[in-house]
Amino acid sequence: MLINNETIIKDNDPKIREKSQPVPLPLSQEDETLLRELYQYVENSTKPEIAEKENLRPAVGISAIQVGVPKQLTAVIVRLSGDDDEEEIVYRYMLANPKIVSSSVQKAYLESGEGCLSVEEDHDGYVVRSARVTVQGFDLVTGQDITIRARGYLAIVLQHELDHFKGILFYDHINPEDPYPEVPNSIVI
């Protein structure tokens, strides 16, 4: 399947609001291939020469519904720079049927707001999410069921992608009457 900016479903298409269904495990060849293609999109989208040539928008994650497939499949690659002398930390996941099993009361949000491959217009405002989440699911990168204990940016990315399974887009979380609320005791990223 060709995945690029032209083939990704945008938020004006009602299909993006469809609920995604769990996939049988072990993964079928079709589901494994799709998950690998989603992952390749994310990987290539951060390489400027490939991204320009293949019409890819930069991404840290993409879910199957964004290419019109209502299945609980998502690929995430998050690069976090370490403190001072620490090297970059990279989290790589190809997840099937991931679900949030716990989340913190403490909240977090991206100061600059969130974006999405399926949303071309800017939507100003804070998308307030849990600062920490625990996600369980099957990971094709490791070939096994995993538990991810995520905090900060990675937690936000995972929540964003898993929202796609419910037909929720990031801007659904923005309060139109108060897009920049004060969020006590929250982590601003």
Please spell the DSSP secondary structure of the chain, one letter per residue: ---STTTSPPTTSGGGGSPPBP--SSPPHHHHHHHHHHHHHHHHHTSHHHHHHHT----SEEEGGGGT--BSEEEEEEEEPPSTTPPPEEEEEEEEEEEEEEE-SSEEE-TT---BTTB-S---S---EESEEEEEEEETTTTEEEEEEEEHHHHHHHHHHHHHTTT--GGGGS-TT-SS---TTPEE-
Known active-site residue 87: no
Q: Which of 43, 121, 161, 182 is catalytic?
A: 161
Catalytic positions are: 161
